[in-house]
Amino acid sequence: MSVPDPSHVSPSFVIGEIYDRRSELHKPYGGGWQSGISSSSLYPLIFLFAGHSGTRHGYADHPEDDGTFLYTGEGQRGDMKMTRGNLAILQHSMNAKALHLFRTLKKGAQRYVGEFVYGGHEWIVKPDTDGLDRNAIVFRLVPIGHLEHRELLDEIDASEDLSLEEARRRAIAAAKVDGSINSKSGSRAVYERSRTVRDYVLLRAAGCCELCEQPAPFKRKGGDHYLEPHHTTRVSDGGPDHPRFVAALCPTCHREVHYGEHAKLKNDGLVEKLRTIEP
């Protein structure tokens, strides 16, 4: 039996379900099983683990009222550095890796919280394992679900008549997160980045579905052709915001690439097509 290309596989986890870290997460998907930030070299994912045991190392991971999650980076002693796992979180969108967050209940047992995207970070003075003050990185993570419907419902920004080249330049610039975003405005920054990429992809499609190549079935109230952004790197929408991972599809093709009999084959075809369109 042929082994599927791991880069095309998007693992799916159920929010609220409990998984055994070693046998159900790392054994099938890879990644180090002792680190709080575990990036797989086989699959497009990064596991994040938060739990009460981290408080002894100065960690205080928690959700906020708006659904965003404050997650402390790795490094138990001394100042944290933007390297290894911390850098993996910062660059996950550019590297097309999904962030899957789990809450540690007891040794080995992990409750799935959901998929998130990087929304910014701050450097905050926190105690390390030895109780000494150090500079720590606190990431603001935005739930993926916050992005999915906004991309569909937000109107296209018609305030500027951009050329395709300028729209592409802005989209790629927006996708290259440099970490300078203030975490308090992180959610807004994520939405704006997502919208900039979406607007370019829709302009690139020029009113035709990038899968079936047929004209959009109808127009929005503002007169723009109605197509839906599809993120090829994950099962549901909202994945990495970069033009090479996003296609503009008509509603029928969008449903088919998610739920159709040949969904994976269709999605793989889009992946190859986007590599040609966006080298």
Rounded distance between C-alpha atoms, residue 94 and residue 172, angstroms: 10
Would you call 265 helix, strand, or coil by DSSP? helix
Report whether 151 contacts 80 (CB < 8 A): no
Q: Per residue, what are the HEC states of 100-164?
A: EEEEEEECCEEEEEEEEEEEEEEEEEEECCCCCEEEEEEEEEEECHHHHHHHHHCCCCCCCCCCH
pLDDT at 72: 94
pLDDT tens string for the chain (279 positions)?
A: 233 344 445 577 889 999 999 999 999 999 988 889 999 988 888 999 998 655 555 567 888 888 889 999 999 899 999 999 999 999 887 777 889 999 999 878 999 999 888 888 999 999 998 989 999 999 999 887 666 555 555 666 555 678 999 999 988 887 765 444 444 445 566 767 778 888 899 999 999 999 999 999 999 887 889 999 888 876 444 455 778 888 999 999 998 988 889 988 998 899 899 999 988
The structure's pTM equals 0.68
- Show contacts of 173-178: CB within 8 Å, 24+ apart: 174/241, 175/93, 175/94, 175/240, 175/241, 175/242, 175/243, 176/94, 177/90, 177/91, 177/93, 177/94, 177/118
Q: Which residues pair with 114 in a beta bridge?
A: 101
Q: Which of 145, 63, 47, 136 is nearest to 98 (CA)?
A: 47
Report whether 171 contacts 243 (CB < 8 A): yes
Residue type, 194: S
pLDDT at 221: 82
Go through the chain and tell me how many residues it has: 279
pLDDT at 172: 85
Using the 8-state DSSP alphabet, how is residue 208 labeled?
B
Would you call 62 helix, strand, or coil by DSSP? strand
